[in-house]
Amino acid sequence: MTRCRAALLALLTMVALSPAASPAASPAVAAHADEGPEQIVNGTFDAGTAPWWGTPDLTLAVDEGRLCADVPGGTANPWDVIIGQDGIPLVAGETYAYRFAASATPAKVGRALIQLPVDPWTQYLSAAPELSVSGDDYSYTFTAPVSLPNAQVVFQLGGSAEPWRFCMDDVSLKGGAEPEEYEPDTGPRVRVNMVGYLPAGPKKATVVTTATTALEWELKDAGKKTVARGRTTPRGVDASSGENVHTLDFSAHRKPGKGYTVTADGETSRPFDIAAGLYDELPVDALRFYYTQRSGIEILDTLRPGYGRPAGHAGVAPNQGDVDVPCQPGVCDYTLNVKGGWYDAGDHGKYVVNGGISVHQLMSAYERNKAAFTDGQLAIPESGNGVPDVLDEARWEQEFLLSMQVPDGEPYAGMAHHKIHDQNWTGLPLLPHQDPQPRELHPPSTAATLNLAATAAQAARLFAPYDAAFAARNIEAAHRAWAAAKANPERYADPADGVGGGAYNDADVSDEFYWAAAELFITTGEKEFETFVLGSPHHTGDVWRDRGFDWGNTAQLGRLELATVPNTIPDRGRVRRSVIEGADKYLAVQKAHPYGLPYNPPDFDWGSNNLVLNNLVVVATAYDLTGREKYRAAVREGMDYLLGRNALNQSYVTGYGEVASKNQHSHWYARQLDPALPNLPRGTLAGGPNSAIQDPVAQRLLQGCKPQFCYIDDIESWATNELTINWNAPLAWVGAFLADGGGRSGCRVRYSGHGSWPGGFIAQVVIENTGRQSVDGWSLRWSWLGGQRVKEGWGVKLAQSGSVVTATGLGWNDRIKPGRSVTFGFAGTGGAGPDPAPEVFHLNGERCS
């Protein structure tokens, strides 16, 4: 099954992975040219079944000239049932044509592999033919990367709940074939955001053309009426796609409407809308993804029609469950109940370091604009409990992270186990509740421990208004984890620990130390953490990587938190300026890129789409800090790439756009392999172009690809088309930014304290109308850091929900003329930690200076 990011990076020298690492599916293709001698012995079965062999659960027989076998049901993995032939010679650099005829009763998806016959079972060809009852002919080509005297041809037939019958004939493997040429269908040469554009935002498209001089373009409405026209700007050859391109800009057209198209160079784009509410559903869909990723709980079909399934890894056979999980041999002599949390990606593993950044970004999206997230918004089992759904969803993962902490009295107490997953790899498809593999806790790591410290510190302040006991539990765990990490600063995850799950190894945890210290300082205000933050090289260094931040590069999270969450770090002004400098860096990259990308390394990384989004998080934060329109416009333009304005002319978000990813690598969203299973939920982000193309399908079809073309929407391409919890997290964050509009109103707010005492304080607020229009009736909204509460007010009506406070004018002061102000005050009670003044105020829904 999937090899997660870190594990695969250690295997770049391999052509593919073991049979446990997902055989790859692809369309059948024709072989060509003058072919060499036949490599398969008795491929027509005229001489019986020898030298073909089967696993012990099969009886091979010739039936009407075909080899047939009754395949038993109830197996978990494709490789549990195999028919094969050994001793197949391969020559390095030779291109082979592989053909066979096959049928299945009832219809099934099989696995056809040519591979190394011993561990690590490296696959040189991996295909997933759809086998029909009537039978079909299949044809594939591949180029052998090595010379081998004894390759193995196998058909993997396991993984079916019910028994079925497999037959095959005319199996042939010959050299001398023409190399396969894969040409993606990129549609019209005018590339747009297929979802659409905001009326007041930038509206740009990219045109692929051989022309080197400006071209005429036309914008047409749904009735084919031309509503705008202009000339393109030639941009030359784009290195990320290898294409000669122009850009065109129709930003001046602001009229809302559906079904717009752009025509240039004789090509017409796919349709798109112009609408103010274009992104309203995106953050909700991106967050709803997490419910169906949950482990340890039944997924209710009433909440997610078509996605219901039994609880996975809850200790119900055939699961061995996550309720009493032992360590790997030699790691510990205790067991832990680590039920719950989110499955990391398309597999059944759960990883603290990837869970850490994911749950942080969900909580960060909430912390940025708490009023945008409500109870009942996500339709999850906890909806209606009085807590914003995004916090309920985050808590599901945070509870799991807490459960991974080493108990008191044990070696490395307070540290966090790095991960928990199956003892061995499993194949696709395999629903979580059907996984029979033993589960294991892996050794504690400093990186995991610091992720726990950071997220627990953040959770402590966010849950304080809703569940004081849970908040206290988190801050206690954060302190324990911090102390344990300081005592064990160099316990790194083993890069070789990649069997059954990804290694997620990281040999530099100085960035995790910085992030954890920042979160602990913000929540507690304690001097130890302030001192650590100020002494870290990450505090003043340039952390804004061209390739963006991710689970292994987390200093940026600390910097962003210190810049945006109220705190008293002494050099906070410099911290904020550094975020703006980072945003300007990404703006320069975006301006130079003809597809409007704020990410442009010479080779695209695994999960490049997530890195694009994280760069947009930095740019969006600069907008929050400055209110400068150029940053908001850059975020809007950056989203265009993910929704269709790219070289492949497709959206990478399931359900968004006319042509969108739908076959992301997953064990249970596996409709491509089993029609009874669903495709991905709407709002799921595909990993995106990855120049390293580590999986067999990508290696077979994408050799020599330019960065933007290193992607294929195939369930077996786990290197380019995986889903993960840490990729949907920035999608939700940026989606929320785009949905809230982020407009600035003509107002300024001054907040000042007039005295405090243990447990209480008095504050005064002045609202100044800096606009040209009178404010007739006002409502001012802000939020506290943690558990503070407003009490008695004067000159105002006060209400509070969680940490969000709403102040409304009274009859005699609810009008503010231009250039005038209104003043009110109140008394409040403090939370458990610092009581910094709020910094973000919204007047009648729009943000003030």
The span from the CA of 571 to the CA of 559, in Å, is 12
Q: Which residues, 6+ apart, have CB-to-CB distance to 37 below 8 Å? A: 174, 175
Q: Is 722 a catalytic residue?
A: yes
Q: Are 139 and 94 in contact (CB under 8 A)?
A: no
Residues 6 or more apart from 591 whose CB is under 8 A from it?
none
Interatomic CA distance for residues 528 and 533, integer angstroms? 9
DSSP H stretches of helix in 525-571: 527-535, 537-540, 555-564
> Which residue type is seen at 438?
P
Which of the following is catalytic: 313, 421, 665, 842? Answer: 665
Q: Which helix H or strand E contains 138, and what residues bound it?
A: strand 136-143
Residues 6+ apart with CB under 8 A from 8: 17, 502, 606, 694, 718, 719
- Closest by alpha carbon to 192, among 273, 96, 302? 273
CA atoms within a 13 Å half-sphere pointing along the CA-CB vector of 625: 26
Among 396, 368, 361, smallest CA distance to 290 is for 396
Q: Backbone phi, then psi, for 180, in 5-degree steps?
A: -70, 135
> Rounded CA gap, 732 and 730, in Å?
5
Catalytic-labelled residue, pool 722, 740, 768, 835: 722
CB 168 within 8 A of CB 82: no
User: Are 360 and 333 contacting, i.e. CB atoms less than 8 angstroms apart?
Assistant: no
**What is the DSSP code (8-state) at residue 822?**
E
Beta-carbon neighbour count of residue 322 at 10 Å? 26
The whole-angstrom separation of Cα 95 and Cα 173 is 10
For tokens 């197996």, the residue is: 75
Taking a C-beta distance cutoff of 8 angstroms, is the pair 391, 464 a contact? no
Among candidate residues 80, 624, 713, 835, the one labeled active-site is 713
Work out the angle between the directed axes of helices 282-292 and 389-403 (0-180°, nearest 10): 40
86 is catalytic: no
Q: Using H for helix, E for strand and C for coil, what is the string for 770-814?
A: CCCCCEECCEEEEECCCCCEEEEEECCEEEEECCEEEEECCCCCC
For residue 563, give the DSSP letter. Answer: H
**Residue reference for tokens 């482990």:** 295
CA dist 827 and 835 (Å) reads 13
The SS3 assignment for 665 reads: strand
Buried b (16+ CB within 10 A) or exposed e, 115-129: bbbeebbbbbbbbbb
Point out the catalytic residue in the list 322, 347, 511, 640: 347
Cα dist. 539→159, 578, 637 in Å?
51, 10, 30
Cis peptide before 120 (omega within 30 of 0): yes
Catalytic (active-site) positions: 347, 665, 713, 722
